[in-house]
């Protein structure tokens, strides 16, 4: 995992601005760009490489999100477990944005191997709620289990 201070790679696409975040969100993270985001545009924030967020980082992040222009649509994709921990614990952490996909931690009950699998919420949503595909252990091929309490992992779904 990337343990450097937060880096943000911006790519301007015709229909959205793409921001790829990597590293640690802490008191040193430069989040001033949030208030300069183009209003009325869609912004996709990829947090796959966000390794850790400390309490100062949480505070800075929430302040930064409060500063975005009105009418901005925010979509979060490939959210890392560290990012999702905060989304699940802090009500306004995603601040009106939509979670599109997230990494879910799995553990193998047989050999203890751990893995993280990308889950697209729309693709896995059924009339009965979220249905997760079976994940096979890369080590011993047994079915893997969720590494955390599903109520905690998905509490953001309300
Ligand atoms: Zn295994």
User: From ligand 1's centre to the CA of 66, what distance in Å?
Assistant: 43
**Phi, psi dihedral angles at 110 (to 5 degrees):** -90, -50
User: From ligand 1's centre to the CA of 113, what distance in Å?
Assistant: 5
User: From ligand 1's centre to the CA of 44, what distance in Å?
Assistant: 34
User: From ligand 1's centre to the CA of 143, what distance in Å?
Assistant: 8
Q: What percent of the chain has pLDDT over 90?
A: 84
Superfamily in which the 1-99 domain is placed by CATH: STAS domain (3.30.750.24)
Unique residue bearing structure tokens 């208030």: 35
Sorted by where each begins, the domain ranges of the chain are: 1-99, 106-115+124-158
User: From ligand 1's centre to the CA of 3, what distance in Å?
Assistant: 28
User: From ligand 1's centre to the CA of 114, what distance in Å?
Assistant: 8
- pLDDT level of residue 90 (50, 70, 90 thresholds): very high
Mind giving me the DSSP string for 35-74? GGSPTTSEEEEEEEEEEEE-HHHHHHHHHHHHTSPTT-EE
| Cα angle value 101/66/90 (rounded, 5°) | 55
- Does the pLDDT of residue 1 top 80, yes or no? no
Name every residue whose Cβ is closer than 8 Å to that of residue 129 and which is 6 or more positions away in sequence: none
Residue 7 and residue 21 in contact, taking contact as beta carbons nearer than 8 Å: yes
Best CA proximity match to 140, nearest among 115, 104, 121:
115
Mean pLDDT of the chain: 94
Unique residue bearing structure tokens 């995992």: 1
Residues with C-beta atoms within 5 A of ion ligand 1: 108, 110-111, 113, 137, 139-140
How far out from the chain centre does Cα 61 lie? Answer: 13
User: From ligand 1's centre to the CA of 141, what distance in Å?
Assistant: 6
User: Which of 31-35, 36-40, 122-126 is modeled with the greatest confidence?
Assistant: 122-126
Q: What is the largest CA-CA distance in the chain?
A: 50
- Does the pLDDT of residue 71 top 90, yes or no? no
User: From ligand 1's centre to the CA of 146, what distance in Å?
Assistant: 13
Rounded Cα distance, 50 and 5, in Å = 10
Best CA proximity match to 50, nearest among 23, 32, 27:
23
pLDDT of residue 60: 95
Q: What is the DSSP letter of 109?
A: T
pLDDT of residue 64: 94
């Amino acid at each position: 995992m990337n343990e450097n201070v937060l880096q943000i790679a911006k790519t301007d696409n015709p229909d959205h601005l793409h921001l790829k975040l990597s590293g640690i969100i802490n008191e040193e993270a430069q989040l001033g760009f949030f208030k300069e985001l183009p209003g009325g545009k869609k912004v996709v924030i990829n947090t796959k490489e966000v390794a850790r967020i400390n309490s100062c980082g949480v505070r800075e992040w929430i302040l930064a999100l409060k500063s975005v222009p009105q009418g901005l649509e925010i979509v979060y994709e490939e959210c890392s477990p560290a990012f999702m921990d905060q989304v699940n614990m802090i009500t306004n952490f995603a601040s009106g944005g939509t979670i599109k996909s997230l990494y879910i931690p799995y553990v193998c009950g047989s050999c203890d191997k751990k893995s993280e699998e990308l889950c697209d919420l729309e693709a896995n949503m059924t009339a009965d709620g979220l249905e997760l595909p079976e994940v096979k252990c890369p080590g011993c091929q047994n079915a893997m289990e969720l590494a955390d309490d599903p109520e905690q992992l998905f509490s953001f779904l309300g």
